[in-house]
Structure 1
Amino acid sequence: MTDPILTDIAMDRFLAQVDALAVAIATAPWRPDHIVGVGRGGLVPATFLSHAIDRPMLSIDLSAGVPDFADLLLERLRDRAAKGARLLFVDDINDSGSTINGLKTAMADTPDDAVRFAVLIDNIRSIATIDYRAETIDRSVTKDWFVFPWEAVASRDAVVKDWGVMPDRTR
């Protein structure tokens, strides 16, 4: 297995991505009641976006691998949405689309206007569609593994290990 091309996302680029999402959301007719950070990669962007658009933040972690943990949180989010709450799920990247589609499946029984999705980087080749994006890439062209500011504190080995979970995304 060859190592990925690691591309750092500088803090100024990250802040510009958050600003782009905030503008897109502010100019859209749909407004969220809550931002939902999708752990692990969506927690920091969700926090920044929550401040930028002055909406409270909730979180869910799908990456920890703790049995039933995410299921209980998804159940609570479904209940909120069923009662009329509008939820904006935020992640760092829509790459393969499996995370976004998994969340869409989990939230499928909610009203049509209850759930939206936002990402910093959206892969146009993804199997999932999202509502708000700061940047767009084409994985058939861009093979880089993006290292966001909160990941930059990890060792190279840890970043490569994260990439190694699904290396075909960048080949």
Structure 2
Amino acid sequence: MSDTAQPELHYLEYYEEFLAKVRLLSRRIAQSEWKPEFVIGVGRGGLVPAVYISHQLGLPMLSIDHSARVPGFADELLAKVAGMSAAGTRLLFVDDINDSGGTIAYIRELLGSSGCVDDNLRFAVLINNQRSKATVDYWTDTIDRAEDKRWFVFPWESVGQASAIVEEAQSVPERLG
């Protein structure tokens, strides 16, 4: 795909569809043997689903803004969260999609180097790319990025400018073509 090619945007903007996915994901988490004590939304994309999941599960929520890429900001918070895990607290991280796996791999690595106890850590996403370099524990939908080149636009993103959505999609051409 060239930089000027238009990506195939797939809008997940229907509230009922989103709510159904969140309820399904929450059920899967609730029915598992592992029980989280905190839901942690990974900003920006994981914040909205994390709020809903925290309400569904009746759990408190924390947020980590990884997407802003402010030097040290997310890393400092992740180090604090790793300390919670080391003290025995079970943490469920929520993001919208596990696509390349870059965000989840980064978070896992930083948590691990900060003393996080792996048994106290789980990841949940709405959409999981089976070819991602990172694994997740809970998801609702699976895609194969080798075949599925859609750029998913979640309800909270659909209010943004169309040109910004296209620009973001084109910034990672390896996922699109």
Sort the TM-score into its range (normalised by shorter chain). over 0.9
Tell me the distance in 2 between the aligned counterparts of 1:54 and 1:29: 17
Alignment of 1:1-171 (within 5 A): 1=3, 2-9=5-12, 10-108=14-112, 109-171=115-177
Letter in 2 for 1:28: S
Letter in 1 for 2:45: G
Tell me the distance in 2 between the aligned counterparts of 1:161 and 1:56: 35
- Equivalences, count: 171
Cα drift, residue 23 of structure 1: 0.8
Q: Spell out, residue by residue over 1:30-60, the C-alpha distance to the aligned partner (whole angstroms, 9 max, x if none).
A: 0111000000100000001111111110000
Tell me the distance in 2 between the aligned counterparts of 1:16 and 1:161: 29
Residue pair 2:82, 2:117 contacting (<8 A) in 1 also: no
Q: Spell out, residue by residue over 1:138-169, the C-alpha distance to the aligned partner (whole angstroms, 9 max, x if none).
A: 11111100110000100111111221331211
Report the identity percentage.
Answer: 50
Tell me the distance in 2 between the aligned counterparts of 1:24 and 1:61: 25
Letter in 1 for 2:105: N
- Secondary structure class of the residue paired with 1:37: strand
- Secondary structure class of the residue paired with 2:119: coil
Give the TM-score normalised by structure 2: 0.93
- Residue segments in structure 2 that go unaligned for 5+ positions in a row: none
- Residue segments in structure 1 that go unaligned for 5+ positions in a row: none
- Secondary structure class of the residue paired with 2:81: helix
After TM superposition, the structure 1 stretch with the greater mean CA deviation from structure 2, 105-114 or 153-162, is 105-114
Tell me the distance in 2 between the aligned counterparts of 1:51 and 1:116: 18
- Secondary structure class of the residue paired with 2:118: coil
Q: Spell out, residue by residue over 1:7-33, the C-alpha distance to the aligned partner (whole angstroms, 9 max, x if none).
A: 110222211110111110111010111
Letter in 2 for 1:138: D
Letter in 2 for 1:62: H
